[in-house]
Every structure is written in structure tokens, then in C-alpha cells.
Amino acid sequence: MVPGTHSGRPLPAGWRWVRLGEVAAVISGQHILESDYNQNARGIGYLTGPADFGVTKPAITKWTEKPRVLCEPIDVLVTVKGAGVGKIDLSPDVPVAIGRQLMAVRGHHDSIDRMFLFSFLITCLDYFQKNAMGATVPGLSRDDLEMLNFPLPPLSEQRRIAAVLREQMAAVEKARAAAQDRLEAAARLPDAFMEQCFEGADAAAWPRISMAEVCKIVAAQVDPKLPELRDLPHVNGENIESGTGRMFGIKSAAEDRMTSGKYLFEPPVVLYSKLRPYLRKAVAADFRGLCSADMYPLEFDDNRVEPHFALWVLLSRSFTEYAISESQRARMPKLNRDQLFGWKFPVPLLAVQRRVIAYINQQMQTAQLAIASLREELQTIEALPAALLHRAFNGEM
């Protein structure tokens, strides 16, 4: 079905095509100024847009002395102007005024079930957003709503379909919430693995040394436009996944159109983003390349620290908390070199470090597979409402 046009699609027996304006009133909102209201006064409340749904503001007495556009508890609200155009919601439980960003759709009581109408309007979101006109503020007209093609079954059938949809949507929401909880739990696993390694009983017995004892920055800033450098891989914070030590979307300096000075690094190196440490962006690089000046290319003493062990240390909760507390002193959260090199961390023998690296890598891979599977499950669940609504308005429910 294409809203606003004759689709020609056959309907089940007893259904018929109508224009929405034939079976519902479309009521435009009115311009509302905040200066007209007093938050401490009693009176009729008002809504001005989608951000206000569920929040009814009080109006001053003088406001109630003038006729205003009110929506009723039987209405369905449509956002018709601004960034939230096409958003659908049920009107509040009490009459409220509506601003011009909204329209109220009030079905004829003898032919339209409110929840059936509400569900139908949700299916029109894409149509509303594509057809909103206006160069600066996109908007819908009353005609856009009144001319919608509406598949109208008998009232008893509308109520039956609305009840089935409510039940199915509740089941979908329950499944979505459960999947979201499992996804959030899986996303916490990597931190739990690192905490187990760096804050457990074994780590308490390891000697603690400062970064300054085993780490240095020797990379020099270079011109990325030079012919011998422009084709090298270029790494910046946007190429590093938060908290996982993974890179993506790496391009050459030329492809990224780099012109300002960059660090030239040699492998093996750990790249740490010094800006906004709470983002936890670090990666071990086994290739020669360029990195942003907002990153530290860290070279570790390979007789004492494995680079990948250092990577997980920099992504650990304890280091991140330290980096956040230190960087908050600056206007822009940034960890300076002295703060970085002053950090002390537990360092076991190299053989133990390699076992820690292997364990974390294995557990991270397991966690990432679980996260990917749960995201796919969540996407499937989130697609169900649209599929259920499609079935409902095709007479298949």
C-alpha cells in the first residue's frame, strides 16, 4: 500500500479503501509561546513537539480565557514539523493544547478504533518523512494526512486486530528487552576478563613498574604529503574500536587527504589515543605507518614487556580510571606524557605475559562472537513490529 494514492491492492471481504479524512478529523495545532505560560499556575497543559510527549506543562489562567486547539484522550498525535516529523504517539489522558508542530487525528467513534488507527499511522512513517516539504523545516500538511489511503475493516475487526497487535507487540518488547539485557551482559565480558587478569590474586604478586621504565616515544613528526610517506597506512582515533584493541577502515595518508604533521611509527608499536581517555582507544600495530598527532606511538622494551600485554593494560579498567582522573584537569580531556609515563602497572615474566595475552585474545574472540550473534538476534526482533503491522494491514492477521 502506498499512502496517499490508490494502491489497487485487493482487500479481505468486508474491508474497503477510504481516505483517512473520510473517517477521521485532522486537527492542526496552534502557535504556542513559552512566554504565555507560568509553570506554577494551574490551567490547561500543552504539548509543543515529540520531545514533550508524556510531559504536560501547566498554562496560566489567561490562556484558558481564549479558545485554543485541544487534543482529547481519544486522539492520535502526529508530529508534522521539524526533525521529528512523522513521529506518532497517543494523546495524554487529559485534554491538552497542541502546538503547530503537531496534529491530532480523531477517528469517528462509530467507525474507527483508536488503537487500530494508531497502528496504521505508525506504518506511514517512511511516507511521512519522504513527503515532508520545506527547505529548512520539513513539514506535512493537513492534506497529507487526510488523503492517506486507509484500509478500513468493520469496527469489530479493527478491535480484534488491535487486540492481537497489542498482545504480539508486548511479546516482541519482552523479547527485545531480554535480548538487550543479554547483549549488555556480553559487552561487559571483555572488561571482566581484563579485570580478572590485572586485578586478581596473581596480579597482586607481580612487581609493579612505571611506564617510563619500559616504554618510550621515539617516533618523529613527518610531512604525510612526502612521496615516500603518502601511501603508508594512516591510523587515527576513528579507526580504532573502543575498548577492544581492534582497527577498521584503515586508508593511506593520501586517501585520507592528510596534510598536517603525523607520527611515523615502526612495528611493533602500541598506538594510544591521548584525547578523551574514557573512549579507551588503543591498538597494537605490526606494520609501518603514520598516526595522528593526537596519539602516542609507544615502543616497549621487548625484554620486559610484550606489546600486546601492554595493549590490554592500557585498555584495562584500572588504567582507564587513572587516565580519566588525570586528564580531567585539562579543559579538553587529554593524558599528557608525564601522566602516561607515571602510571605503574603489574608486570610478570614474559612467559606469563604471553599466557595472559593468549587467554584474553581467546576470551575476547568468544565475547565478540556472542556480541555479534546477539546484535543479529536483536535486529531480527526489532524488525518484527514492522512485519506484524504489514500483516495486519494486509488482512493477514
CATH of the domain at 278: 3.90.220.20
* 29 found inside a domain: yes
- pLDDT at residue 68, rounded to an integer: 62
* pLDDT confidence tier of residue 50, bands split at 50, 70 and 90: low
Between 46 and 245, name the one with better pLDDT.
245
**Span 173-192, pLDDT tens digits:** 999 999 999 999 999 988 89
Report the domain count for the chain. Answer: 2
Average pLDDT of every residue of the chain = 88
Distance CA(359)–CA(361), nearest Å, equals 6
* Same domain membership, residue 251 and residue 134: no
- pLDDT at residue 134, rounded to an integer: 77
* Same domain membership, residue 251 and residue 130: no
For residues 366-371, average pLDDT: 93
Share of the chain above pLDDT 90, in %: 65
* 83 found inside a domain: yes
Quote the domain boundaries for residue 329. Answer: 207-347
**Span 271-303, pLDDT tens digits:** 999 999 999 999 999 999 999 999 999 999 999
Distance CA(354)–CA(364), nearest Å, equals 15
For residues 52-57, average pLDDT: 54
* 288 found inside a domain: yes
Half-sphere exposure of 229 (CA within 13 A, CB side): 21
Domain end, chosen from 153, 168, 184, is at 153
For residues 217-223, average pLDDT: 91
pLDDT at 201 over 50: yes
Could you tell me the three cell numbers for 227? 612521496
* Same domain membership, residue 126 and residue 48: yes
Distance CA(78)–CA(28), nearest Å, equals 10
C-beta separation of 324 from 277 below 8 A = yes
Distance CA(295)–CA(272), nearest Å, equals 5
* 341 found inside a domain: yes
C-beta separation of 208 from 345 below 8 A = yes
Which pTM does this prediction carry?
0.71
- Ranges 4-8, 216-220, 228-232, 270-274: which has the least confidence: 4-8
* 30 found inside a domain: yes
- pLDDT at residue 54, rounded to an integer: 52
* pLDDT confidence tier of residue 43, bands split at 50, 70 and 90: low
Burial annotation 151-187 (CB, 10 A radius, 16+ → b, else e): bbbebebbeebbeebeebeeebeebbeebeebbeebb
* 164 found inside a domain: no
For residues 16-27, average pLDDT: 94
Q: To which H or E segment does residue 104 belong?
A: strand 102-107
CA 321 to chain centre: 24
- pLDDT at residue 55, rounded to an integer: 52
**CB neighbour list of residue 279: distance below 8 Å, 6 or more residues apart:** 237, 242, 273
